[in-house]
A = this chain, B = another copy of it.
Amino acid sequence: MPARNTVQRQVIEETLRSLANHPTADEVYDAVHAEHPSIGKATVYRTLGRLSDEGTIGRVRINNGADRFDHRTFSHYHVRCVRCGRVDDVMIPLLGDVDEAAARASGYQICGHTLQFDGICPACQACGEERG
Contact = CB atoms under 8 A, between A and B. Distances in A.
Interface of A: 61-64, 67, 77, 79, 81-82, 88-92, 95, 98-99, 101-103, 105-122, 125
A108 B95 contact: no
A92 to B, nearest CB: 5
A103 B119 contact: yes
A103 to B, nearest CB: 7
Contact of A108 (B98, B105, B121): B121
Stoichiometry (number of copies): 2
Given A92-B101, A99-B117, A113-B117, 8 more contacts: A79-B106, A79-B110, A90-B105, A90-B106, A103-B119, A109-B125, A110-B118, A113-B115
Nearest to A80: B108
A98 B105 contact: no
B102 A108 contact: no
A95 B95 contact: yes
A120 B117 CA distance: 24
